[in-house]
Amino acid sequence: MDFVEIAKNAKAASLLTASLSQEIKNKALNMMADAIEKAKEEIFEANKTDLELAEPLVKSGELSKSTFNRLKLDENKMRDMIAGIREIAKLPDPVNRKLLVRELDEGLTLYKVSCPIGVLGIIFEARPDVISQISSLAIKSSNAVILKGGKETTHTNKKILEIINSALADVEGFPQNVIQQVFTRDDVGEMLKCDKYINLIIPRGGNSLVKFIKENTKIPVLGHADGICHIFADESADLMTAEKIIIDAKTQYPSACNSVETLLIHEKFPHKDELLAALQLAEIKLIDNPESWAHEYGDKILAFKTVKNLDEAVEHINTYGSGHTDCIITKSVENAEEFMNRVDSAGVYFNVSTRFADGFRYGFGAEVGISTNKTHARGPVGLEGLTIYKYKLIGNGQIVSDYVEGRKQFHHKDLYPGIRLTVGPKRCL
């Protein structure tokens, strides 16, 4: 089947999923989780094949060790995959929520209502657990999705999606072609051209992947190219707190996009030498004069710089940061508030590790990625970020001429949005 046909099928499926009940979606998710749990040994076998094929690539330098590690599925990742699906099933339905209820005039009411985006094109690198996360989020948010994973995980991806679609086929009332998968580089090129059927592209991968996608499509792209995160140790920062936060933000998962890359230290912070010594004891390599302040190391390497004050710290972050996640460590609530208001990033933190920038940790169930965009969705993108909205206007014969010619007047009265409004059987507003 050519890609355009796949995209057409996804579009048709998205129009059907838009009206699925919460009960059907939750049943689909729980059956997915059951099926994956039952077939986990088959998935492990498929993953073993991918790992065996990847090992020579690591030895030759074609594949990094960090990518190889992300490729591996173990019992812990499998447990988290299954738990993540069940957690998403428990979350409130993000579709058909009333975001605004405004009475324009008596008997004439405007509703702003959340609705699915439509068809999502997801391009991701060697992380097989992404398939279950994105499939779950797409189902719960009533979107259709076309997945393109890294070639290193082809066998694992095929097996997981085979199990998912087998489970979905047994759910009465659930449409076909909601979750589809493609495999070739040519498919990526076709996906990026398919603006007639695909509503949003979400890349999950390195800088080069994201930049390539942004430069080669007319379809809106949600994501981030760089993860250049900062921590600013203010003058009043507590030493033990600073050590704990910075070490976690750099070493807990150094290749993550929310790992800290630059430490800024207030020149009047009295424990600078002690702090730097503690970081070195944690096996962090410190660089005080990097070639670029806008570099993502993805390793236990941390650039650091002494700054005069909060103003210089904010200026540095807004100049060299990627708008991802930045933190201040301080005892001053006033300084923290100023920092969080002025730093132009999707996540601004006060006395916590940047590693908290994650959809699961935010209680979103999972995430399709982290966005540094300033339109539609920003930060970790979960269910809410996979919806948009439409306006529904309900009246009883009103016409614009009455208002233009002065026979009637708008009074624009905002009403409490409540839960949902039903007009007739099974018609949610």
Residue 93 lies in a domain: yes
Residue 74 and residue 176 in one domain? yes
Residue 19 lies in a domain: yes
Q: Enumerate residues 6+ apart whose C-beta is below 8 A from 158.
A: 46, 181
pLDDT at 137: 95
Residue 246 and residue 141 in one domain? no
Model confidence band, residue 427 (pLDDT cutoffs 50, 70, 90):
very low
What is the CB-side half-sphere exposure of residue 418 using CA atoms within 13 A?
Answer: 10
Question: What is the rounded average pLDDT for all residues in the chain?
Answer: 92
Give 223 or 54, the one with higher predicted confidence. Answer: 54
pLDDT at 426: 38
- Domain tally, the chain: 2
Residue 70 and residue 154 in one domain? yes
Q: For 277-293, what is each residue's pLDDT tens digit?
A: 999 999 999 999 999 99
pLDDT at 201 over 50: yes
CATH at 320: 3.40.309.10
Dihedral of CA atoms 412, 416, 418, 423 in degrees, nearest 10, equals -30
Residue 243 and residue 123 in one domain? no
Give the number of other Cβ atoms within 10 Å of residue 98's Cβ. Answer: 20
CATH at 49: 3.40.605.10
Q: Structural domain of residue 134, as residue ranges?
A: 3-222+376-387
Percentage above 70 pLDDT, the chain: 97
Residue 136 and residue 54 in one domain? yes
User: From CA 117, how far away is CA 385, in angstroms rounded?
Assistant: 9
Residue 426 lies in a domain: no
Residue 177 and residue 251 in one domain? no
Model confidence band, residue 78 (pLDDT cutoffs 50, 70, 90):
very high
Tokens of 358: 């994650």
User: Is 187 within 8 Å of 3 (Cβ atoms)?
Assistant: yes
Residue 201 and residue 240 in one domain? no
Residue 429 lies in a domain: no
User: From CA 6, how far away is CA 373, in angstroms rounded?
Assistant: 28
What average pLDDT does the segment 285-303 reach?
95
Tokens of 119: 């068809």
User: Is 381 within 8 Å of 362 (Cβ atoms)?
Assistant: no
Residue 279 and residue 233 in one domain? yes
Q: For 89-141, what is each residue's pLDDT tens digit?
A: 999 999 999 999 999 999 999 999 999 999 999 998 878 888 999 999 999 99
**Nearest to 363, CA basis, from 81, 88, 134:** 88
pLDDT at 424 over 60: no
How far are the Cα atoms of 45, 276, 391 from residue 412, in angstroms, in the given order?
Answer: 61, 59, 15
pLDDT at 103: 96
Given CA atoms 78, 82, 88, 91 in this order, what sign does their dihedral have? negative
Residue 396 lies in a domain: no
Residue 195 and residue 338 in one domain? no
Residue 252 lies in a domain: yes
pLDDT at 420 over 50: no
**Are β-strands 379-381 and 98-105 bridged in parallel, bridged antiparallel, or unpaired?**
unpaired
pLDDT at 235 over 60: yes
Residue 15 and residue 145 in one domain? yes
Residue 196 and residue 318 in one domain? no
406 burial level (CB within 10 Å; 0-12, 13-18, 19+): exposed
Q: How long is the chain?
A: 429
Model confidence band, residue 429 (pLDDT cutoffs 50, 70, 90):
very low
pLDDT at 417: 55
pLDDT at 366 over 90: no
Residue 256 lies in a domain: yes
Residue 101 and residue 210 in one domain? yes
- Judged by average pLDDT, the poorest of 31-45, 60-74, 170-184, 316-330 is 60-74
User: Is 351 within 8 Å of 337 (Cβ atoms)?
Assistant: no
Residue 406 lies in a domain: no
List, in sequence order, the alpha helices (H) in 18-104. Answer: 22-38, 40-60, 65-71, 75-90
- Judged by average pLDDT, the poorest of 69-78, 109-118, 181-190 is 69-78
